[in-house]
Amino acid sequence: MREFPKLLFIFLDGVGIGENDASINPFFSADLVNFRRIFGDVPSKENPAIRNGSSFVQPCDALLGVDGFPQSGTGQVTLFTGVNAAQIIGAHFGPYPHSQTRTVLEQKNIFKVLKELGARVHFANAFPKQFFRYIESGKRRLSATTMSCILSDIPICDDTSLREGDAISADITGERWILELGYSDLTPLTPFQSGERLRTIVERYDFTMFEYFLTDKAGHERDKPMAERVLRMLDEFLGGVTEGGLENLTVLISSDHGNVEDLSVKTHTYNPSLTAVAGEYAGFFYGKFTSIADVTPAIVELFKTSSEGQRL
């Protein structure tokens, strides 16, 4: 079996790099102790690029040379394939992938490409029975991540995966499953416990992705206490992931567009996307990102280089 790096890709929906202003940017009003521990500081427009040893934060263009606010449909296809989806259709589009980008997503999504290299890939989000009934009904308004899995024959985790510890709830703690989805028998996890579980999951695969959507939701709500709570939860989650150190693990965090970093507006923003890397191969990624279209090609380059036995 080929030896690949262990890479955890944490996709954050709607997280950009905004102003150093705690009145509108919850990154500066929430106490993000783990983010600061790992990356040294919180980025801002005034200080967008940060290095802390080999760990770094890099702003990534999410505008993609197309007018208008960036949107999730085109942004996520771009992020997960390396192909500028906004330029394909001549506009930003969302929240779901545009029909004209389906072929690109089918052929070049990160799950498919890494799977074809021989890597063990895993989408760690768990989905309830309601989601699978929706799929069975023939409806196809799917996110870029779930569509990528379906198009690439990557299993989508369900409640059994969640119970057995091979998946994470999209809200991190699992409280939504209990309060809104009818799974009253489940026991919620703390964000730290969920992070520890994800670290255990990562050990079983070469490439693992986890998607966190509440950042985008909090941005659209313009609810500062909610945004701070969502970011603190994410920060504690990162603490659980990294508690055992980052030896033999690379953590890559990236987003499709800005939103939660500016609560003065309800829309997405023109701000650069937040992209951050820490761990074993952080140095490999340093200097490779200028836009969100650079993320997947860099990951693929790492895995190809590793699979060919080249020195990293």
pLDDT string in tens for the chain (312-residue length):
568 999 999 999 999 999 999 999 999 999 999 999 999 999 999 999 999 999 999 999 999 999 999 999 999 999 999 999 999 999 999 999 999 999 999 999 999 999 999 999 999 999 999 999 999 998 778 999 999 999 999 999 999 999 999 999 999 999 999 999 999 999 999 999 999 999 999 999 999 999 999 999 999 999 999 999 999 999 999 999 999 899 999 999 999 999 999 999 999 999 999 999 999 999 999 999 999 999 999 999 999 998 776 655
300 domain residue, yes or no: yes
Does residue 269 belong to any structural domain of this protein? yes
Single-letter amino acid code for the residue at 300: V
Which residue is it, tokens 């959507």?
A: 213
Q: Is residue 1 part of a domain?
A: no
How many of the other CB atoms lie within 10 Å of CB of 20?
13
Kindly state whether residue 29 falls inside one of the protein's structural domains: yes
Domain count within the chain: 1
Give the integer Cα–Cα distance in Å for 307 and 15. 32
Output the domain CATH number for residue 62. Answer: 3.40.720.10
Sign of the dihedral through C-alpha 76, 79, 82, 84: positive
Among residues 69, 82, 75, the alpha carbon closest in space to that of 108 is found at 82
- The reported pTM is 0.97
In a domain, 249, yes or no: yes
The identity of residue 103, as a single letter, is T
- The answer to whether residue 2 is domain-embedded is no
The answer to the question of residue 281 being in a domain is: yes
Task: Specify whether the CB–CB gap between 115 and 152 falls below 8 A.
Answer: yes
Q: What is the DSSP string of 130-194?
A: HHHHHHHTT-----HHHHHHHHTTPPPB-HHHHHTTS-B-TTSSSHHHHHTSS-TT-----HHHH
Residue pair 252/9 in contact (Cβ under 8 Å)? The answer is yes
Residue 295 forms part of a structural domain: yes
Enclosing domain of residue 15: 7-307
